[in-house]
Amino acid sequence: MGPDGDQIGIVPTRDALSMATEQDLDLVEVAPQADPPVCRIMDYGKYKYERAVRQKEARKRQVKIEVKEIKFRPKIDIHDYQTKKGHVIRFLEAGARVKVTIMFRGREMAHTELGRKILDRLEVDLEGLATVDQKPKLDGRNMIMVLAPVKKATKGEKPAKEESEKAS
């Protein structure tokens, strides 16, 4: 193939190289698995630069999912729970997933149901704002649950919660 994309046809390698050097360009093998292999006369430096720019643009458009972590203890006080719940809400509103960890120490491992109650209460408190992405599970001395933010309704739709309130 020529530099402007036109088909030249099947040409011996030596002739193709001489055509490329006459035009001060490079001979680049585009499809080595084809029979015969497909080559193109082009400016390889320019091609590499344009490919790098396209890849950079693709990375910019890619959405990075951020995971924030918040740690609780099984014997957490009500006020501390409210404060940490506020942090979780802030993370979810920013669009991040939240990994909630309950840390058990010493004999607290005998009462893992306390940690489960905290995670269940958090799930109920955040209903409508978050969905449980990963159910609570015990991992060593920690109990872990992952929350994901609820997708916001588009402008044309009304959230289900508002519709049910109007019906009442």
Beta-strand pair 38-42/67-72:
unpaired
How is domain 67-149 classified at the architecture level of CATH?
2-Layer Sandwich (3.30)
**Category of 95 on φ-ψ map: left (φ > 0), alpha (ψ -120 to 50) or beta:** left
Q: How many angstroms separate the CA atoms of 126 and 122, rounded?
A: 6
pLDDT in tens, 10-36: 878 788 888 888 888 888 877 777 777
Opening angle at CA 76, ends 65 and 78, nearest 5? 95
For the chain, the structural domain boundaries read 13-61, 67-149
- Write out the two tokens for 66: 């951020």
pTM here? 0.52
Q: How many angstroms separate the CA atoms of 24 and 3, rounded?
A: 11
**H/E stretch holding 98:** strand 97-103
pLDDT in tens, 114-161: 888 888 888 888 888 888 888 888 888 888 888 888 876 444 444 444
How is domain 13-61 classified at the architecture level of CATH?
Roll (3.10)
Q: How many angstroms separate the CA atoms of 43 and 117, rounded?
A: 65
